[in-house]
């Protein structure tokens, strides 16, 4: 067996917020991981859909980004976008 080559192996302190809310279209169960790792962006895990993305305010302004990242329709993505604007 060859020696393992690590690109990085770090332990960081994070703050994780678990949020569940019901919008007009569907329920959202999220884990939001805040750390210094992603240049001020937040690791947003969608627990129900088993999907995640690293999101900053600039990503929220990008048309179609949440729809693509979380495989959701425009209305559902807008509910999520509005919530994420509030916490970022």
pLDDT at residue 1, rounded to an integer: 72
Instruction: State the burial class of residue 82 (Cβ atoms within 10 Å of its Cβ: 0-12, 13-18, 19+).
Output: exposed
> Taking a C-beta distance cutoff of 8 angstroms, is the pair 70, 54 a contact?
no
Instruction: State the burial class of residue 28 (Cβ atoms within 10 Å of its Cβ: 0-12, 13-18, 19+).
Output: buried
pTM: 0.89
- Which residues fall within 8 angstroms of residue 68, CB to CB, at 6 or more apart? none
pLDDT at residue 17, rounded to an integer: 97
**pLDDT single digits (tens) 37-82:** 888 899 999 999 999 999 999 999 999 999 999 999 999 999 999 9
Residue 16 or 1, more confident: 16
Query: What is the rounded CA–CA span in Å between residue 31 and residue 43?
Result: 8
pLDDT at residue 69, rounded to an integer: 97
Query: What is the mean pLDDT of the segment spanning 13-41?
Result: 94
């Amino acid at each position: 067996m060859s020696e393992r080559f690590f690109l990085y192996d770090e332990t960081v302190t994070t703050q994780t917020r678990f949020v569940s809310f019901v919008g007009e279209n569907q329920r959202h169960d999220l884990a939001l991981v805040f750390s210094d790792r992603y240049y001020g962006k937040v690791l947003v895990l969608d627990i129900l859909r088993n999907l995640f993305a690293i999101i900053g305010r600039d990503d929220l302004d990008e048309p179609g980004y949440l729809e693509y990242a979380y495989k959701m329709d425009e209305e559902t993505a807008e509910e999520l976008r509005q919530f994420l604007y509030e916490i970022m």
